[in-house]
Amino acid sequence: MISCIAIDDEPLALQQIVSYIRKTPFLSLAGQYDNAISALEFLQDNQVDLMFVDINMPDLSGMDFVKSMDDGPRVIFTTAYNEYAIEGFKVDAVDYLLKPISYDVFLKAAQKANSRLASAVPKHTVVESKEDFLFIKSEYKIIRIRVPDIKYIESMREYVRIHLIDQNPIMTLISMKKMEQSLAGKNFMRVHRSFIVNLDRVTTIERFRIIFDEKIYIPVSDQYKEQFQEYLNNNFLS
């Protein structure tokens, strides 16, 4: 079963794609969104195999949305304009469907995605370094930061802001999920959909809020309270 989402700011067009997904036996609808920013927030915490994406949308276009992800799901573009076709295939889109879209055209595109996913191999090999640093791309520079210097990481929609000890924060275009994976095994914990904290830098907790200084209070959300409480219990001196 292929999990997928549909994104389109036109209600009728979105409804049509959703109905086609539900009609197709090997597709499973994981979400539907009328803007790319909401879809991006969903993808920070969830994985899907395939996206049906309109291109002309306000705030963040479908093309920019797809380009913002380093290793995102497979994409089928749905649009009323044919001038983006070449750009669509440059980002390795599975297909490019022109509206109005009939079900037989939709099905052929979905079957093409199914074939690609079935024969897919991992795009990247992740090599874990024993060194305590990360390379971060920020604007036009690649910056090396020491992991122990990270206080916490804050989600800024499609970006994250890395807050450091005695340094200015660094912004980079990456998902919170990818950031969380990069810090696995380094004593960091996701405590909120918008925050990852360095547990080595946590000194004061008040009513499930982590206090870094007088102005910074990071909440521990209900979704992560049990995990955080377990960490406290394991390190509590009584």
pLDDT, tens digit only, all 238 positions of the chain: 899 999 999 999 999 999 999 999 999 999 999 999 999 889 888 889 999 999 888 888 888 888 887 667 899 999 887 765 566 556 778 999 999 999 999 999 999 998 888 765 434 333 344 458 888 887 667 888 899 999 999 988 778 889 999 888 988 888 888 888 888 888 999 999 899 999 999 989 988 899 987 778 899 999 899 999 998 888 877 6
How many CB atoms are closer than 10 A to CB 156? 14
Q: Which of 53, 18, 21 is nearest to 38 (CA)?
A: 53
Please give the CATH superfamily to which domain 2-118 belongs: Response regulator (3.40.50.2300)
Residue 226 burial (10 A CB sphere; 0-12, 13-18, 19+): exposed
Q: Which two tokens stand for residue 144?
A: 């090396």
Q: Which of 4, 76, 86, 9 is nearest to 43 (CA)?
A: 4
Q: Determine how β-strand 50-54 pairs with β-strand 74-79.
A: parallel
Answer positive or negative: Cα dihedral of 65, 192, 204, 144.
Answer: negative
Q: What is the pLDDT of residue 56?
A: 86
Q: What is the pLDDT of residue 77?
A: 92
Q: Which two tokens stand for residue 47?
A: 């994985």
Residues 6+ apart with CB under 8 A from 4: 21, 27, 28, 29, 30, 48, 49, 50, 51, 52, 73
- Residue spans of the domains in the chain: they are 2-118, 133-234
String of DSSP letters for 187-231: SEEEEETTEEEEGGG--EESSSEEEEETTEEEE--HHHHHHHHHH
Q: What is the pLDDT of residue 130?
A: 47
Cis before 148? omega within 30: no
Tell the CATH topology of 133-234. Answer: OB fold (Dihydrolipoamide Acetyltransferase, E2P) (2.40.50)
